[in-house]
């Protein structure tokens, strides 16, 4: 099983209460939060309830986006199919956990974000936003 390098540390208690998946999926949904409007359309289609609402990156009180808990996603692609803004790339699992921090602006699942990537890759700042889909 590929190591989830997008996770920063322990799972928050709220997330840990949800049941874990049985095996690693072939595909992973990663929200490109740069294009997410927070419309919540994807949430109702997720069969394992692993899409979480996250405060907006710039105006937390007035905006929201969503984040996939990539340790619970089963890769069914229903969210990507129904996203009206086409901002959920379905990626092979290993590629997904590698690219997730470059597409995540805010996280409540304790996953790495663009800012974390910037601090890890000296001198590259927030270049993670430009990762290829
Ligand atoms: S791919 Fe399926 S399991 Fe994963 S977040 Fe989307 S709807 Fe949920
Ligand atoms: S359906 Fe697309 S735009 Fe709407 S909240 Fe989900 S990812 Fe964001």
Q: What is the mean pLDDT of each run of 10 residues along the chain (133 residues)?
A: 85 88 96 96 97 89 94 97 98 96 95 85 42 43
Query: Could you tell me if 31 and 70 are in contact, meaning their C-beta atoms sit under 8 angstroms apart?
Result: no
Centre of ligand 1 from the C-alpha of residue 124, in Å: 31
Q: Which of 91, 87, 101, 98 is nearest to 34 (CA)?
A: 87
Ligand 2 contacts (CB < 6 A) are 31, 36-42, 66, 83, 85, 87-88
Ligand minimally distant from the alpha carbon of residue 74: 1
Question: H or E element: which one contains 29?
Answer: strand 27-29
Q: What is the pLDDT of residues 26-37, one digit of tens each?
A: 999 999 999 999
* Segments making up each domain of the chain, as ranges: 32-121
User: What CATH number was assigned to the domain covering residues 32-121?
Assistant: 3.30.70.20
Among 27, 78, 93, residue to substitute to test ligand 1 (most atoms within 8 Å of Cβ): 78
Residue given tokens 């590929």 in the structure block? 2
Is pTM beyond 0.85? Reply is: yes
- Bridge partners for 52 per DSSP: 67
pLDDT, residue 120, reads 62
Centre of ligand 2 from the C-alpha of residue 38, in Å: 5
pLDDT, residue 62, reads 87
Q: What is the pLDDT of residues 81-95, one digit of tens each?
A: 999 999 999 999 999
């Amino acid at each position: 099983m590929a190591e989830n390098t997008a996770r920063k540390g322990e799972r928050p208690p709220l997330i840990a209460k949800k049941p874990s998946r049985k095996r690693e999926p072939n595909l992973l949904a990663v929200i490109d939060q740069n294009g997410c409007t927070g419309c919540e359309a994807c949430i109702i289609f997720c069969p394992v309830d692993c899409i979480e609402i996250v405060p907006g990156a710039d105006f937390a009180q007035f905006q929201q986006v969503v984040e996939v808990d990539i340790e619970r996603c089963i890769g069914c692609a229903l969210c990507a199919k129904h996203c009206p803004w086409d901002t959920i790339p379905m990626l092979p699992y290993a590629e997904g956990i590698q690219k997730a921090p470059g597409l995540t602006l805010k996280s409540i699942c304790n996953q790495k974000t663009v800012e974390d990537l910037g601090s890890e890759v000296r001198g590259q700042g927030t270049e993670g936003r430009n990762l290829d889909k």
